[in-house]
């Protein structure tokens, strides 16, 4: 016997409804994820000055190659390699004896010439007396006068020779022409020093107080700066850069920011065509000799007047191809993108913000900018704002 089982359609419908209700109840019971936590802060309103940064090089304000003017053997070296000296201090001393012998010989020759001059003067007077008595000839008198003048000239030559030999003796003591710091001695005691075209370098002396700082400014910046200056001066009364004493700040490679001060004292008179830049020289005090010629420095020059600007931490700036933006919160704690333009980066890491021309909502100190948790924040999605102490913030509706 064959048995056939039939199921009621109403029973099938009832089963499916039960399953559907159970699924909906499970979805409703699943907890929704909380909005991500982010740290926010208000932008700051600060008094700032626009500036431009440059890379430069420190250089000595004066450099002298120390060479000998006379030939001789080095008797003594009166400095330690790298020593700081003042102008006039003795550096090298050559053996003075050969120079003193030459002076003595020149003086003896002068004494002989003076004796000959006295004899010629007596002979001239004798010829004059004979002429007065009509016993002498004019030719003999003229010869006596010529002889006297010849010895006078020889005496002048001998005196000049003595002065030259005395000068050579003075040159045997080689002194510092300027105050500064010495390099190492290239020749030491006992070496022969030649004068003239083959004279060797003995050492180098550099003046580093003040120190010079050289850097190049691009043509566009130079024109903008001079246009700014011209707007503040009467027509035709814009002073040259080297007369203006324009201040600047600078820092060494190992320093943070620009803690040191200087003034511009010189600008080249021609823009370098190959680079489109103008070389500028600054001057800074260096009494403690912190700055060494050849050191790399970072230079910052103000390019405008102080003004009030909105600033945010540099870490809050994001990039989208060629655009910069920050993430802010609206009253519902929803993330909103705000496009910005960047101004000067301040020493403490705060970034000056400018409003793009097409923006209708400029950034203000009342806004909240996300600084930490940027990778968790999504535009048009809510977040949980926290202050820098980790405390939750309640936004005013």
Cβ atoms of 36 and 179 within 8 Å: the answer is no
Measuring CA to CA, which residue among 319, 311, 60, 81 is closest to residue 206? 60
Architecture of the domain whose range is 96-171 = Orthogonal Bundle (1.10)
Enumerate residues 6+ apart whose C-beta is below 8 A from 376.
36, 37, 38, 383
Residue 116, both tokens: 């000959």
Which of 2.40.30.170, 3.40.50.970, 3.20.20.210, 2.60.200.30 would CATH assign to domain 51-94+172-305?
2.40.30.170
What percentage of residues in the chain have a pLDDT greater than 90? Answer: 63
What's the angle, vertex CA 342, arms to CA 339 and CA 345, rounded to 5?
A: 140
CATH 1.10.287 domain residues, the chain = 96-171
Residue 35, both tokens: 């909005």
Return the pLDDT at 6. Answer: 41
Distance CA 341, CA 369 (A): 15
Strand ordering across the sheet containing 192-193: 173-175, 90-94, 72-77, 192-193
Label residue 150 left, alpha or beta by phi (over 0 means left) and psi (-120 to 50 means alpha): alpha
Gyration radius from the chain CA atoms: 45
Q: In this model, does residue 22 exceed pLDDT 60?
A: no
Distance CA 386, CA 39 (A): 5
How does residue 197 score in pLDDT terms, banded at 50, 70 and 90?
Answer: low
Return the pLDDT at 4. Answer: 42
The pLDDT mean for the chain works out to 87
Q: Give the mean pLDDT of 159-182.
A: 96
CATH 2.40.420.20 domain residues, the chain = 38-49+307-386
Q: In this model, does residue 84 exceed pLDDT 60?
A: yes
Q: What is the pLDDT of residues 103-134, one digit of tens each?
A: 999 999 999 999 999 999 999 999 998 988 88
Cβ atoms of 110 and 159 within 8 Å: the answer is yes
Measuring CA to CA, which residue among 348, 387, 333, 343 is closest to residue 257? 348
How does residue 230 score in pLDDT terms, banded at 50, 70 and 90?
Answer: confident
Instruction: Among 7-21, 225-239, 378-392, name the one with the lowest average pLDDT.
Output: 7-21
Q: In this model, does residue 221 exceed pLDDT 90?
A: no
Q: Give the mean pLDDT of 225-229.
A: 76
Residue 350, both tokens: 């705060």
| Alpha-helix residue ranges (DSSP H) falling in the chain | 9-29, 97-132, 138-171, 219-232, 241-244
Measuring CA to CA, which residue among 300, 297, 265 is closest to residue 282? 265
Instruction: Among 145-154, 217-226, 248-257, 286-295, name the one with the lowest average pLDDT.
Output: 217-226
Q: Using N-to-C axis directions, what is the helix angle for 97-132 and 138-171, rounded to 10°?
A: 160
Q: In this model, does residue 25 exceed pLDDT 80?
A: no
Return the pLDDT at 119. Answer: 95
What percentage of residues in the chain have a pLDDT greater than 70? Answer: 88
Distance CA 259, CA 250 (A): 6
Q: In this model, does residue 8 exceed pLDDT 60?
A: no
3-state class (DSSP) for residue 189: coil
Return the pLDDT at 134. Answer: 84
Burial class (CB in 10 A: 0-12, 13-18, 19+), 313: middle
- Please give the CATH number for the structural domain made up of 38-49+307-386: 2.40.420.20
CATH 2.40.30.170 domain residues, the chain = 51-94+172-305
Enumerate residues 6+ apart whose C-beta is below 8 A from 126.
144
Distances (CA, A) of 206 to 126, 211, 245, 285: 65, 10, 24, 15
Torsion of Cα atoms, 210 then 215 then 220 then 221, to 10°? -40
Distances (CA, A) of 203 to 65, 80, 102, 390: 6, 11, 28, 63
């Amino acid at each position: 016997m064959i048995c056939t089982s039939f199921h009621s359609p109403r029973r099938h419908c009832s089963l499916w409804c039960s399953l559907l209700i159970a699924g909906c109840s499970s979805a409703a019971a699943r907890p929704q994820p909380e909005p991500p936590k982010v740290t926010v802060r208000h932008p700051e309103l600060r008094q700032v000055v626009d500036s431009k940064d440059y890379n430069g090089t420190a250089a000595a304000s004066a450099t002298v190659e120390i060479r000998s003017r006379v030939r001789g053997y080095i008797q003594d070296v009166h400095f330690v390699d790298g020593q700081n000296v003042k102008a006039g201090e003795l550096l090298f001393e050559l053996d003075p004896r050969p120079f003193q012998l030459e002076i003595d010989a020149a003086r003896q020759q002068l004494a002989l010439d003076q004796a000959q001059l006295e004899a010629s003067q007596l002979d001239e007077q004798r010829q004059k007396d004979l002429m007065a008595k009509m016993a002498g000839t004019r030719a003999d008198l003229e010869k006596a006068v010529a002889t006297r003048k010849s010895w006078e000239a020889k005496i002048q030559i001998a005196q000049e020779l003595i002065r030259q030999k005395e000068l050579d003796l003075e040159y045997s003591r080689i002194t510092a022409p300027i105050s500064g710091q010495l390099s190492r001695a290239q020749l030491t005691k006992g070496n022969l020093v030649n004068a003239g075209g083959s004279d060797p370098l003995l050492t180098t002396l550099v003046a580093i107080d003040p120190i010079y700082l050289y850097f190049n400014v691009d043509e566009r910046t130079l024109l903008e700066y001079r246009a700014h200056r011209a707007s503040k001066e009467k027509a035709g009364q814009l002073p040259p850069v080297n007369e203006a004493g324009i201040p600047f700040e600078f820092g060494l490679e190992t320093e943070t920011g620009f803690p040191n001060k200087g003034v511009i004292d010189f600008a080249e008179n021609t823009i370098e065509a190959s680079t489109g830049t103008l070389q500028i020289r600054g001057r800074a005090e260096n009494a403690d000799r912190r700055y060494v010629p050849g050191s790399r420095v970072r230079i910052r020059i103000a390019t405008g007047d102080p003004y009030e600007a909105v600033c945010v931490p540099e870490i809050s700036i994001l990039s989208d191809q060629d655009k910069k933006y920050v993430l802010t919160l609206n009253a519902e704690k929803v993330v909103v993108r705000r496009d910005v333009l960047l101004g000067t980066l301040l020493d403490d890491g705060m970034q000056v913000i400018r409003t793009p021309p097409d923006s209708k909502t400029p950034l203000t100190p009342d806004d909240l900018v996300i600084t930490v948790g940027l990778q968790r924040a999504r535009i048009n999605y809510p977040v949980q704002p926290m202050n820098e102490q980790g405390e939750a913030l309640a936004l005013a509706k």
